[in-house]
Amino acid sequence: MYKAVKTPSFFRTLILFIALAVFMIGCGSNSEENNDDSNTADQNEETETNAAAEEDANDESEASDLYHEIGETFEMTGYYSDVPAEVTINDIWIEDDPEHQEYIEDNIASPTEDDVVVFVDYTVKNVGDTDMTMGDLIPEYTDANIELDLSYPENDTFTDFTESFQVPLEAGESMDVVGAVPADKNDQYTSALMWNITQDVPEIVFHTPQDERRDKIGTYDIGEDMYLFDQGEDSFYRVNISNIEVVEEYEGIEKFDDNSSFFAIDMEFENQLEEDVSLYGTFPSVFADGQEAIHSGNLVIDGQVVEDLYEGPEGKISPGETIEGTVYLEVIDENMEEVELLYLNPTLLTFPDYAMRINYN
Strands 168-169 and 132-133, by their bridges, are antiparallel
User: Among candidates 271, 262, 230, which has minimal Cα distance to 339?
Assistant: 262
Strands 356-359 and 218-221, by their bridges, are parallel
Q: Classify 132 in phi/psi space as left (phi over 0), alpha (psi -120 to 50) or beta.
A: beta
DSSP 284: P
DSSP 134: G
Task: Kindly give, in sequence order, each residue whose CB lies less than 8 Å from that of residue 17, ignoring residues fewer than 6 positions away.
Answer: none
Q: Give the SS3 label for residue 272.
A: coil
Q: Give the SS3 label for residue 286.
A: strand
pLDDT by position in tens, the chain (length 361): 323 333 333 333 333 344 444 444 444 545 455 555 555 555 555 545 454 445 554 555 567 789 999 999 999 999 999 999 999 999 999 999 999 999 999 999 999 999 999 999 999 999 999 999 999 999 999 999 999 999 999 999 999 999 999 999 999 999 999 999 999 999 999 999 999 888 888 999 999 999 999 999 999 999 999 999 999 889 999 999 999 999 999 999 999 999 999 999 999 999 999 999 999 999 999 999 889 999 999 999 999 999 999 988 999 999 999 999 999 999 999 989 899 999 999 999 999 999 999 999 8
Q: Are 153 and 95 in contact (CB under 8 A)?
A: no
Please state, in angstroms and rounded to a whole number, the distance separating the CA atoms of residues 116 and 103. 10
What DSSP element (H or E) covers 29? helix 2-64
Amino acid occupying residue 280: Y
